[in-house]
Amino acid sequence: MRVSQLLWATFIKTTQSIREKIMLSNQSIALSELKANSMVRVIRLCGSDASVNQKLQDLGFFRGTVVKVLGNDAGMPMLLAIGDGRAALSKELAAQVKVNIIS
């Protein structure tokens, strides 16, 4: 590798690390705790095992994804907007998604 390539690779790693620290430095909250019309950004998936995290990823939950809470009524699944799609998520599963509030 050339010196310039090594410097670039180091820069990229440092930038990603800084971004992760900034995202995690804000207080995260469980998605299940939010009210309707909240806009959030996914910080991390905290599933009890890999299959739970995989299910969440299959639904479109990835670190950095912006999600809008459309509904969170007692006794009902949460209704969420993820990109152009919609998803209904149980409160138990939504509790595994840690987010930062955007608005």
pLDDT score recorded for residue 73: 92
In angstroms, the CA 61 to CA 46 distance is 11
What would the pLDDT profile of 5-18 be if each residue is shown by its tens digit? 777 777 777 766 55
Residues 21-33 as b/e (b if ≥16 CB within 10 A, e otherwise) read eebeeeebbebbe
φ and ψ at residue 38, rounded to 5 degrees: -75, 135
Question: What CATH number is given for 27-101 in this structure?
Answer: 2.30.30.90
In the chain, where are the structural domains located? 27-101
Q: Any idea what DSSP says for residue 32?
A: G
User: Mean pLDDT across the chain, nearest whole number?
Assistant: 86
The residue ranking higher by pLDDT, 8 or 85, is 85
Is the whole model's pTM more than 0.75, yes or no? no
